[in-house]
Structure 1
Amino acid sequence: MRSMTLLTLGSIGLIAVSGSTNAVAGDVRAPQVAGVATVQNDAPTFYGDVVAILQENCQVCHQPERPNLGGVVAPMSLVTYEETRRWASSIAEQVEARLMPPWHASREFRGTFVNERYLEDHEIETLVAWAESGALAGNPADAPPPLALNEVGSSDSWTIGEPDLVIPIPSYMVSDELTDDYIYQRVTISADMLPEDRWIKAVEFRAGGSYVHHIVGGVLGGTAPGYGPFYYPNNVSRTLRTGSTIRFEVHYHKESGPGTAVLDQSFAAIQFYEPGEVVKNVMRTTSLGIMDFEIPPGDPNYTDSSEFLFEEDSYIHFMNPHMHLRGKSARYVLTYPDGRQEPLLYVPQYDFGWQHNYYLNEPLFVPAGTKVTLTLWWDNSADNPTNPDPTATVTYGAPTTEEMGFGWLHWTEAEARNIVVGESLR
């Protein structure tokens, strides 16, 4: 699997994501199990074969203190043999079905994105063989050194490291009778909070729980199920200005009924560029929106599209599609001024529970006159297990049980500005 330095965004069995402050996990100890020292021929063992795969691909999230990704938290730790052995069959099922680690770009784009998550075929074979041969421990001396893991999760620390500013989003009670609730909370960035305008380097939202469908916070970006922290790539940025007001759009979705009320307290944490660092350019975001649609009852493959034309030479940095529970597939395609087409991203099996940002390894230059076409597909059939009602005619709507169709594109103008942090922003 490629190492992951940037992260993105249901019901899950295993998840793999990211963290940052260092705290060494507990020692790995050999279990006191009869016959554990008897390794059958070439059968894989935890210490000799499996733990290295888990360290590279899974433990960044599956650890004792598990990070919160848009309200999604890994349900178990996979650090020690004792913790992992009981999940051997589930691990085999998940990786063989390529549900874990979570990543939804088509395999034709392998090597395109910084934050892609893939297990090699031989790694999948090892994990499956380990489960099928009895999940043997092997010799602890064969294990690599334990990783320095990240105490985030329920602690006060953050995946991005020590933030320069933490903004509490005003708390809100989602009452018993509500299933979907949309609210807007405003926070003014006072001089006490932020004495001067700053360039944003990273933002991490900590949703109060899985009942938070999404949070959108203007210049701070947002979070949704499966999102990790947001890092501005390639030394680009936006400014947070003292005295400005951020409007947080918060969408809650939960079961209704007596005893289901929840008091939400969500947060946004921010790191800034330090004085003297250079910001190459200012990030721009374009929303390719599909809002005027009507999906017939039972339609398994409804599709629609939206376009955006670059009017100046630019660089594309990353993108992220968004639909709700009927979302099926998403595709971005570039058409250059000479008519040549280039696929930018294809998500064949969109998953509402894992809404990723897809960060390109290198910014992609597009000349003025290049067109981006976003095409989305929805499945409103009874064969879609997440479909709330296959008999409904579905139109655009904010509730999770209705539908949306967006594809965000994050880009900069091609000419670098090379702004020295600390100089006047005005």
Structure 2
Amino acid sequence: MRSVLLTTAAAAVVAAAFAASAISAPAPAPTAAAIPERASNFQLTDTTRLAHELHYFKAAPAIVLVSQVNGGKASREAVAQLSKLQAKYKDQGVLFYAINSKDSRDAAAAEAKAQKFAFPVLLDELQLVGEQLGVQREGEVFVVAPKSGFKVAYHGTVAETAKAIDAVLTGAPVANPRVEVKAGNVIAFPERARKAEHSQISYSTEIAPIIQEKCVACHQEGGIAPFAMDSYDIVKSMAPMIKESIMAERMPPYFADPHIGTFQSDMALTFEQNKKLIHWIEAGAPRGAGGDTLALNKSKAPEWPVALGKPDLVVTLPADVPASGTVAYQNMQVTNPFQGDTWLKAIAVKPGERTVLHHVTSNHTPDRGAPPPKLPGGSVGSYTPGAEPQVIATGAGAPVPAGGKLSFSMHYTTTGKAATDQTQIGYYTLKAAPEFIKRSTVISDFALKIPKGEARHKEIAYLEFPADAYIYTLYPHAHYRGWSVELKQKTPDGKESMLISLPKYDFNWQRDYDPIEPILIKAGTKLIATWIYDNSTDNKANPDPSIDVTWGEQSWQEMMYFRVNYRWADETVSNIRNDLQGKLMESRMIGALDTNADGKVQIDEFTGTM
């Protein structure tokens, strides 16, 4: 390859000539794309990091989508006109969204702010949604009728949108359901021209390895998934469901925003894996040549995690769960089975009956009257649906003081069928004391109150760290109304940075998020948790949208809870700093009330049940 070096002046001339030719040249013709009869389900994240799933809004009378690009005249004019329609149809429940299949999140956010967009801009980073809808230009409008099976009742210019909405609202056919859009910049969708290549994607060498890496841990014989992905025939038969689950971002069950933080055991599909799977399925999921990699590597779920092996000690917690009614927390204790002070390197909880076990929490309880233990006590294992084994960071350990009891709080929910649970907790111990002590704390707001019917209620709480610390684990928890959650740090100089964001929280898949490298938190830093709750009728998991919801232990109540595992920077096994733990807890009350995190509680911040 020849390299050509241009002087600054020459480069400017070339750039100017190119720009002039680009202005005078006609806009390229878009690649032909058919408008679908119905809008397939998808989930996209908006510029504020909130997720939106199309088919979540089954009860909406109409949903209006518009293709948008930054700086485009057609986009800005369309959004401005649709903003007026949004105000007109707001009381009738019509939803409006822009879909950006071209620009970055930050750039789209800047455009939305500068132009004062009145409705969310969804980021179609992989272009899969734009491809499926048949988008070709900016400013294309789609009016979707959820109550008619998400039929695309109208596609065309913004000028005819009001008539289309009126028709959908009255149940009448749209007079002109397809109007050609000729204005606006063409949006390039390169994959449309590669359909022949998609039909050549190899199941054996490309698709099966992705499934083996990201799906089989659950989708194997004896795994927690409802079926095993152990052959091409199974994958082929499930292909439509697999596509919908990926497009709706329900699977794989890993929900951390890929733009914020990097975490261990990342189960998410990479962008390239995501596109490859979808395009292969859209090509008909061809078998192609080569062996059936999944069948050749067929496996059974192990009794205990392969990476950890057999535990050093197992505690079994039996319980009978009735068919119906509310079950109070079952508090169980076992005599501490460890001989002397013990350090844990990992804990694996094996639920006996997943259908009824909501969660397990625990702690070490010292014997009454005995001298205070030398080691700080703490959790000895926890479980929520979808949880992975808890592995303590390298160089650290979870302390279990000698003597006392291991106390467990078991939360069960009834299913209409009596069940017997035999949950087991496997402990993996260190053979020698570690250097650092793993500690835990919880950011919460016990005064939360979620108004009845409210779709996006926000709760904020924080803790202020009195000394430098390293974060090991981030773990958010809520019940069925939890919609999204974030954790950010605010340093003493007022600077903020996001540590983790889950644009869509899923109660059925709660897990620890362990940063690749422990995160240093400086003294005086506030860790601020923000939860969004959906107490509306759109939330089909909502136990009762007609009531105000407050803090409570049962699933039909709610929690605002964010656990953080960490170590104090200057604490070691030989230099225990229980004083720092006490100072940390001093910020809990003000952190639950001080919504704007300014270190003061104003009258208007006494909200909820306060």
What TM-score do the two structures reach when normalised by structure 2?
Answer: 0.56
Deviation of the 1:289 alpha carbon: 1.4
User: SS of 1:360's equivalent?
Assistant: coil
1:140 paired with 2:290, answer: yes
Partner of 1:230: 390
1:203 paired with 2:326, answer: no
Q: 1:142, 1:164 → 2: CA distance?
A: 37
Indicate if the aligned counterparts of 1:334 and 1:343 stay in contact, CA closer than 8 A. Answer: yes
Correspondence for 1:129 among 279, 289, 292: 279
The worse-fitting range, judged by mean Cα deviation, of 78-87 and 262-271 is 78-87
Partner of 1:8: none
Evaluate the alpha carbon distance shift between residue 196 and residue 147 of structure 1 in structure 2; reply closer, same or farther with a 3 A threshold.
farther
User: SS of 2:213's equivalent?
Assistant: helix
1:281 paired with 2:436, answer: yes
Q: Give the 5 Å matches for 1:19-418.
A: 42-66=199-223, 73-109=224-260, 112-141=262-291, 143=293, 147=297, 149=299, 151-152=301-302, 156-159=303-306, 160-169=308-317, 171-189=318-336, 193-209=337-353, 210-218=355-363, 219-256=379-416, 260-275=417-432, 279-415=434-570, 417=572
- Where in structure 1 are there 5+ consecutive unaligned residues? 1-38, 67-72, 420-426
Indicate if the aligned counterparts of 2:381 and 2:425 stay in contact, CA closer than 8 A. Answer: no
Indicate if the aligned counterparts of 2:222 and 2:301 stay in contact, CA closer than 8 A. Answer: yes
Evaluate the alpha carbon distance shift between residue 142 and residue 168 of structure 1 in structure 2; reply closer, same or farther with a 3 A threshold.
closer
Evaluate the alpha carbon distance shift between residue 51 and residue 168 of structure 1 in structure 2; reply closer, same or farther with a 3 A threshold.
same
Q: 1:197, 1:330 → 2: CA distance?
A: 37
Q: 1:199, 1:362 → 2: CA distance?
A: 22
User: SS of 1:408's equivalent?
Assistant: strand
Evaluate the alpha carbon distance shift between residue 243 and residue 88 of structure 1 in structure 2; reply closer, same or farther with a 3 A threshold.
same
Q: 1:238, 1:125 → 2: CA distance?
A: 41
Indicate if the aligned counterparts of 1:48 and 1:138 stay in contact, CA closer than 8 A. Answer: no
User: SS of 2:320's equivalent?
Assistant: strand
Indicate if the aligned counterparts of 2:204 and 2:292 stay in contact, CA closer than 8 A. Answer: yes
Q: 1:357, 1:41 → 2: CA distance?
A: 36
Q: Which amino acid aligns with 1:172?
A: A
Larger gyration radius, structure 1 or structure 2: 2
Indicate if the aligned counterparts of 1:325 and 1:403 stay in contact, CA closer than 8 A. Answer: yes
Q: 1:41, 1:406 → 2: CA distance?
A: 44
Q: 1:324, 1:215 → 2: CA distance?
A: 14
What TM-score do the two structures reach when normalised by structure 1?
Answer: 0.79
Q: 2:297, 2:217 → 1: CA distance?
A: 9
Evaluate the alpha carbon distance shift between residue 144 and residue 64 of structure 1 in structure 2; reply closer, same or farther with a 3 A threshold.
closer
User: SS of 1:333's equivalent?
Assistant: strand
Q: Which amino acid aligns with 1:217?
A: S
Deviation of the 1:144 alpha carbon: 9.2
Higher helix share: 2
Indicate if the aligned counterparts of 1:43 and 1:129 stay in contact, CA closer than 8 A. Answer: no
Q: Percent identity?
A: 29
Higher strand share: 1
Aligned length: 362
Which deviations, in whole Å up to 9, do the C-alpha atoms of 1:279-305 show, x marking residues without a partner? 231111111111112221111122221
Q: 1:98, 1:312 → 2: CA distance?
A: 38
Indicate if the aligned counterparts of 2:470 and 2:567 stay in contact, CA closer than 8 A. Answer: yes
Q: 2:220, 2:309 → 1: CA distance?
A: 17
Partner of 2:9: none
Q: 1:228, 1:143 → 2: CA distance?
A: 26
Q: 2:205, 2:563 → 1: CA distance?
A: 43
Evaluate the alpha carbon distance shift between residue 81 and residue 370 of structure 1 in structure 2; reply closer, same or farther with a 3 A threshold.
same
User: SS of 2:328's equivalent?
Assistant: strand
Q: Which amino acid aligns with 2:347?
A: V
Deviation of the 1:416 alpha carbon: 5.5
Deviation of the 1:177 alpha carbon: 3.2
Evaluate the alpha carbon distance shift between residue 268 and residue 144 of structure 1 in structure 2; reply closer, same or farther with a 3 A threshold.
closer
Give the structure, 1 or 2, with the largest relative contact order (CA under 8 Å, sep 6 or more): 1
Evaluate the alpha carbon distance shift between residue 416 and residue 296 of structure 1 in structure 2; reply closer, same or farther with a 3 A threshold.
closer
Partner of 1:16: none
Q: 1:185, 1:60 → 2: CA distance?
A: 31
Q: Detail structure 1 runs of 4+ shifted over 6 Å in the superposition.
A: none
Which deviations, in whole Å up to 9, do the C-alpha atoms of 1:117-163 show, x marking residues without a partner? 221233223222332333332223585995585642xxx44443110
User: SS of 1:107's equivalent?
Assistant: coil
